[in-house]
């Protein structure tokens, strides 16, 4: 089955995509169709379906969104498959004219990403042999998925508007179909609902703005800041820039795909093919990837993981040879999954080349959706409602002595799943099944109050709702299992994943302060000791973090910036928390947050 989310008459809906006898694709809304079946057959005794009309969903009430439908799991898929079989026969045999009132030609709707505001949108990198094929210094590889997290504001649907200069590549995306945690590789495929096509790209503004004095491109920047986190900030925050990733055209269920490692992949510019590859080139497969992430965080229906490029990485678009007029586009296709494309809108370079109909489409659809649903501003913060969480790394004044990283005028920061934060509710933090030794830290967090972009440092306070104390746990199990010699990314990414466990970053209640400066920070771990520091240790202020992040990324109200650890943290070995131990973080003026940390138990 092919399932699409779309906009018709300013209303977002979802439906089943079918191709008619003339080759025209239609999208049918299940609830409207089922009600139409009843109107024609259920209430007319002379109709052949009067006594035998099937009911596909109780009371003919279907979930309102595709994500809500996926939450029904296998039962929902079975009901929809029965519906599809009946609909195809009904169109062919009974009343195609009437039932088409419940659908739309696909060419007449605006496609959204199948899951328009996905909670998790992970993108793997360096997941094919092309990344070490020509590298004689790479004598082995640590086979673990290496992924960045995209905010929802970075993703658009096929046919929508792509912001920024063109260039990128097409990747296979998997969509989680039911909640999974601590699943084996052998069972992981059962949790996949289907596949999407993802066009992966990045802007270079975060390289250029990290330290303008160091130069405006990656090679110059890394000469001054050779650590991996500086490089990852430029690349991975750039991947999260507004409307710079295409996802679609629909969710193709896995029964239509068969072998996911036997699909041809094409990347396109202006609908012309630039590169051909195959999903057979993936080093790590979908099963191993799902298993890996489900070891330390829950995956939920509608979560998306795209598997990385299997062809040329970051296909260059020379706009001098390929002029972008009103038809300029980027995108690509994956066999059996469909084709995605989006109109390139880069007014700074090309002017506004959008046709009139595209000027009606919001440039950042996810931000537009958020404002319509929640509003542009919040006055109360609910951690479970946060859309994005960014974490700063090496943002303390002794980072050179501790980590070997030079202090920088911009924060090293990466996006992560919002499920890594939790509020004051609950007394316990249950660690993941793979947790080993821990690094525990006391930190401060910034809570965004308003939707905004390109926020100047002098204006940042107007966009800050307040601050919170943070008790952060970093599990070192992934970092400690890396085999040397390793790449800098393999060596460091465990510190990123170590904080991604569910609720690993507990926040106090939010307090409004005129300034975060000069606040004492205290961490105590029962039976082990205390650590102290100050918010003055932070190299980049909250205002600078907001300014840098919003260079090309829209923040949403309720987003969180974790300012990161300070100089002193407390290392805890696994044996020390075997029976549970309490850790408490206090930030002067913000209060405290405390948890009893316990190991995972199957009971």
Average pLDDT of the residues in 211-231: 88
Place of tokens 């929508």: 160
> Which backbone phi and psi does 432 adopt, to 5 degrees?
-70, 165
pLDDT confidence band for 326 (50 / 70 / 90): low
CA 204 to chain centre: 19
CA angle at 376 for the pair 374 and 382, rounded to the nearest 5°: 55
| Structure token pair of residue 351 | 């002017």
pLDDT confidence band for 81 (50 / 70 / 90): very high
The 3-class SS string of 247-305 reads EEEEEEEHHHCCCCCCCEEEEEECCEEEEEEEHHHCCCCHHHHHHHHCCCCCECCCCEE
CB-based contacts of 530: which residues, under 8 Å, 6+ apart? Answer: 522, 523, 524, 570
Nearest to 571 by CA among 489, 446, 479, 450: 479
DSSP 3: E
Considering only 31-45, 107-121, 157-171, 363-377, which range has the smallest mean pLDDT? 31-45
Residue 602 predicted with pLDDT over 80 = no
Within 10 angstroms of residue 490's Cβ, the number of other Cβ atoms is 21
Task: Provide the pLDDT for residue 348.
Answer: 84
Strand partners, 532: 522
Q: What radius of gyration, in Å, describes the C-alpha atoms of the chain? A: 25
Residue 42 predicted with pLDDT over 70 = no
Q: Whole-angstrom Cα distance, residue 189 to residue 253?
A: 12
Tell me the per-residue pLDDT of 270-318, one tens digit each, with 9 for 90 and over: 888 999 999 999 999 999 999 999 999 999 999 999 999 998 888 878 7
Global confidence as pTM? 0.96
Place of tokens 């063109």: 166
Q: Are 160 and 365 in contact (CB under 8 A)?
A: yes
Handedness of CA 188, 189, 195, 201 (dihedral sign): positive
Within 10 angstroms of residue 136's Cβ, the number of other Cβ atoms is 6
Task: Provide the pLDDT for residue 423.
Answer: 87
Q: Whole-angstrom Cα distance, residue 497 to residue 145?
A: 11
Establish how many alpha carbons lie within 13 A of residue 78's alpha carbon, considering only the half-sphere containing its beta carbon. 4
Place of tokens 């909640």: 179
Nearest to 303 by CA among 429, 472, 158, 418: 418
Domain with CATH 2.30.30 in the chain: 2-110
Average pLDDT of the residues in 505-534: 97
Q: List the end-to-end C-alpha distance of the chain, in Å, as a whole number.
A: 38
Q: Assign 176 to helix, strand or coil.
A: strand
Q: Whole-angstrom Cα distance, residue 175 to residue 294?
A: 14
Question: Where in 303-437 does DSSP place strands (E)?
Answer: 304-306, 329-334, 338-345, 389-393, 412-416, 421-422, 428-430
Residue 556, burial from CB neighbour count under 10 angstroms (0-12, 13-18, 19+): buried
Q: Whole-angstrom Cα distance, residue 34 to residue 55?
A: 8
| Structure token pair of residue 379 | 């006055």
| CATH architecture observed for domain 2-110 | Roll (2.30)
CB-based contacts of 177: which residues, under 8 Å, 6+ apart? Answer: 70, 73, 74, 77, 191, 192, 193, 194, 301
Q: Are 355 and 430 in contact (CB under 8 A)?
A: no
CB-based contacts of 401: which residues, under 8 Å, 6+ apart? Answer: none
Residue 66 predicted with pLDDT over 90 = yes
Within 10 angstroms of residue 351's Cβ, the number of other Cβ atoms is 10
Tell me the per-residue pLDDT of 468-496, one tens digit each, with 9 for 90 and over: 999 999 999 999 999 999 999 999 999 99
Q: Are 62 and 31 in contact (CB under 8 A)?
A: yes
Superfamily of domain 374-603: Fumarylacetoacetase-like, C-terminal domain (3.90.850.10)
Pick left, alpha or beta for residue 390 (phi over 0 → left; psi -120 to 50 → alpha; otherwise beta). beta
Average pLDDT of the residues in 58-71: 96
Residue 216 predicted with pLDDT over 70 = no
Task: Provide the pLDDT for residue 323.
Answer: 65
What dotted CATH number matches 113-132+148-202+240-373? 3.90.850.10
Q: Are 119 and 418 in contact (CB under 8 A)?
A: yes
Q: Residue 34: in which H helix or E strand, if any?
A: helix 30-37
Average pLDDT of the residues in 406-421: 97
Place of tokens 């792509």: 162
Largest Cα span, the chain? 85
Q: Are 466 and 386 in contact (CB under 8 A)?
A: no
Task: Provide the pLDDT for residue 238.
Answer: 97
Q: Whole-angstrom Cα distance, residue 178 to residue 175?
A: 9
Domain with CATH 3.90.850.10 in the chain: 113-132+148-202+240-373, 374-603
Nearest to 292 by CA among 474, 419, 132, 477: 477
Task: Provide the pLDDT for residue 211.
Answer: 94
Q: Whole-angstrom Cα distance, residue 418 to residue 431?
A: 17
């Amino acid at each position: 089955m092919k399932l699409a989310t779309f906009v018709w008459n300013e209303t977002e809906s979802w439906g089943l995509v079918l191709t008619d006898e003339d080759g025209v694709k239609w999208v049918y809304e299940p609830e409207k169709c089922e009600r139409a079946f009843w109107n024609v057959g259920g209430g007319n005794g002379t109709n052949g379906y009067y006594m035998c009309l099937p009911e596909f969903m109780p009371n003919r009430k279907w979930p309102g969104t595709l994500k809500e439908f996926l939450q029904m799991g296998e039962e929902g898929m079975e009901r929809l498959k029965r519906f599809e079989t009946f609909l195809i026969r009904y169109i062919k045999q009974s009343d195609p004219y009437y039932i088409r009132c419940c659908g739309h030609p696909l060419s007449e709707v605006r496609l959204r990403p199948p899951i328009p505001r996905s909670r998790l949108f992970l993108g793997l990198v360096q997941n094919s042999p092309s990344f070490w094929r020509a590298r004689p210094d790479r004598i082995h590889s640590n086979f673990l998925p290496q992924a960045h997290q995209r905010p929802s504001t970075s993703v658009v649907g096929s046919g929508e508007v792509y912001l920024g200069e063109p260039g990128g590549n097409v990747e296979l995306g998997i969509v989680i179909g039911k909640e999974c945690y601590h699943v084996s590789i052998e069972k992981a495929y059962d949790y996949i609902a289907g596949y999407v096509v993802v066009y992966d790209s990045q802007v270079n503004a975060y390289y250029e703005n990290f330290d303008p004095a160091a130069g405006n491109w990656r090679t110059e920047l890394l000469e001054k800041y050779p650590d991996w986190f500086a490089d990852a900030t430029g690349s991975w925050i750039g991947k999260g820039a507004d409307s710079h990733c295409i996802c679609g055209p629909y969710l193709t269920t896995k029964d239509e795909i068969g072998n996911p490692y036997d699909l041809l992949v094409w990347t396109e510019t202006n609908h012309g093919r630039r590169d051909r590859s195959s999903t057979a080139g993936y080093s790590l497969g979908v099963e191993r990837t799902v298993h890996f992430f489900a070891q330390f965080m829950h995956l939920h229906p509608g979560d998306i993981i795209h598997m990385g490029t299997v062809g040329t990485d970051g296909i260059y678009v020379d706009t001098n040879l390929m002029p972008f007029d009103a038809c300029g586009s980027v995108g690509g296709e994956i066999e059996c999954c469909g084709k995605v494309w989006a109109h390139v809108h880069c007014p700074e370079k090309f002017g506004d080349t959008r046709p009139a109909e595209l000027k009606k489409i919001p440039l950042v659809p996810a931000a537009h959706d958020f404002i319509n649903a929640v509003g542009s501003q919040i006055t109360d913060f609910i951690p479970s409602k946060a859309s994005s969480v960014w974490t700063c790394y090496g943002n303390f004044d002794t980072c050179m002595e501790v980590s070997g990283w030079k202090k920088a005028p911009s924060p090293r920061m990466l996006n992560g799943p919002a499920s890594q934060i939790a509020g004051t509710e609950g007394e316990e933090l249950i660690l993941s099944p793979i947790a080993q030794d821990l690094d525990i830290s006391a930190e401060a967090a910034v809570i965004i109050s308003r939707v905004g972009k390109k926020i100047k440092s002098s204006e940042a306070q107007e966009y800050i709702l307040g601050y919170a104390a943070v008790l952060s746990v970093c599990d070192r199990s992934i970092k400690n299992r890396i085999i040397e010699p390793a790449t800098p990314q393999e060596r460091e990414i465990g510190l990123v994943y170590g904080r991604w466990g569910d609720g690993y970053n507990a926040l106090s209640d939010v307090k409004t302060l005129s300034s975060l400066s000069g606040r004492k920070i205290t961490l105590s771990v029962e039976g082990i000791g205390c650590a102290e520091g100050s918010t003055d240790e932070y190299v980049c202020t909250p205002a600078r973090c907001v300014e840098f992040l919003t260079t090309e990324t829209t923040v949403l109200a309720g987003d969180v910036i974790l300012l990161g650890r300070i100089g002193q943290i407390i290392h805890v070995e696994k044996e020390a928390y075997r029976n549970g131990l309490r850790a408490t973080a206090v930030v002067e003026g913000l209060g405290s947050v405390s948890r009893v940390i316990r190991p995972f138990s199957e009971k």
